[in-house]
Amino acid sequence: MMRSRCSTLKRLPGALSCLLLLLAPSSKADIFAFVDAQGIVHYSNVPSDKRYVLFVAEPRPERVAEPASVLPAPQVHRGGRAADYAGLIDRAARRNALDPALLSAVIAIESAFDPRAVSRAGARGLMQLLPGTVRRYGISDAFDPEQNISGGARHLSGLLRRYENNLELALAAYNAGEAAVERHGRRVPPYPETRAYVPAVLRRYRELRLTQVPRA
């Protein structure tokens, strides 16, 4: 088992270099992280400090999607599989002019396809919808996969329109909120969580597109 730690300043290149070292193909372990008072991000698969929280979980059997890799991690109640929601994802994607692989990537990183996931911030379900988003789209049950995916797809589609199809900004707004993106000059906010979230979704999206079966 790999046993290593690394710390890096908030700057994205350093943070990602550190994280990629821990996520090397030969490494199979849960990765934990925390941000200290000086704004330094610490990653480790052998957490020795009580401030560490789960950042990336080692894939478990029967889980085809990557577990959530953002802070704060959702509280997982029961597992799910991408194939279980393929039909709902395809329909929601078509209705909102989205690539189904993009929706799948967001769900993989947000909840690891756990329909009962709840974050510390109160985000719920497969696409981790916050209470305000649930109200905005008239969702009566955020844990219902169809309603959750439909609402999340509408929200992501609206963000893409707002940011003129800039996927990085749309994903940053999905994670940190539109206000944060606007407050930082329509750029990805300098939050460790968001700076990790955006490339994680984009990486998963690229992987899914490579495995997509062309439609007739």
User: Would you name the residues annotated as active-site residues?
Assistant: 110
E strand intervals along the chain: 5-8, 31-35, 41-44, 53-56
| 135 contacts: CB under 8 Å, gap ≥ 6 | none
Phi, psi of 110 (to 5 degrees): -70, -45
> Which ranges of 70-191 does DSSP label H, i.e. alpha helix?
86-95, 100-111, 131-136, 145-162, 167-176, 178-183
**CB 159, CB 198: distance < 8 Å:** no
**CB 103, CB 85: distance < 8 Å:** no
Residue at 13: amino acid letter: P
